[in-house]
Amino acid sequence: MEDIPGVARISKRGWRDTEMQVDINPTAMFSKYLTSQDIIFALKNRNINFPGGNIAGNRKEIILRTIGEFDSPQEIEEVHIRSNEIGNSIRIDHVARVTEGLKEAEYLDKVNGQKTIALTIIKREKADAILVVDEAKKNYRRI
Look at residue 112 and give its three-state secondary structure: coil
What does the pLDDT average to over 62-82?
A: 85
Partners of 99 in the β-ladder: 21
- Over residues 24-52, the pLDDT tens digits come to 999 999 999 999 999 999 998 888 666 66
Domain boundaries defined on the chain: 1-16+104-143, 18-103
The whole-number pLDDT of residue 104 equals 81
Residue 48 forms beta bridges with which residues? 68
The mean of the pLDDT values for the chain is 86
Q: Residue 118's pLDDT is what?
A: 84
Task: Give the span between the Cα atoms of 83 and 91, in whole angstroms.
Answer: 9
For residue 143, what pLDDT is reported?
63
Whether the CB-CB separation of 99 and 21 falls below 8 Å is answered with yes
pLDDT of residue 82: 94
pLDDT digits (tens, 9 = 90+) for 10-20: 888 887 888 89
Compute the average pLDDT of residues 60-88: 85
Pairing of strands 18-24, 96-102: antiparallel
What's the CATH class of domain 18-103?
alpha beta
Q: Is 130 helix (H, G, I), strand (E, B) or coil?
A: helix
What span, in angstroms and rounded, lies between the C-alpha atoms of 116 and 112? 10
If DSSP codes are grouped into helix, strand and coil, which group holds residue 133?
helix
Q: Per-residue confidence at 66, pLDDT binned at 50, 70, 90?
A: low
pTM of the model: 0.60
DSSP letter at 57 equals -
Confidence bin at 76 (pLDDT 50/70/90): very high
| Strand blocks (E) in the chain | 7-13, 18-24, 48-56, 61-68, 80-83, 89-91, 96-102, 109-111, 114-116, 118-123
- Mean pLDDT for the stretch of residues 128-132: 91
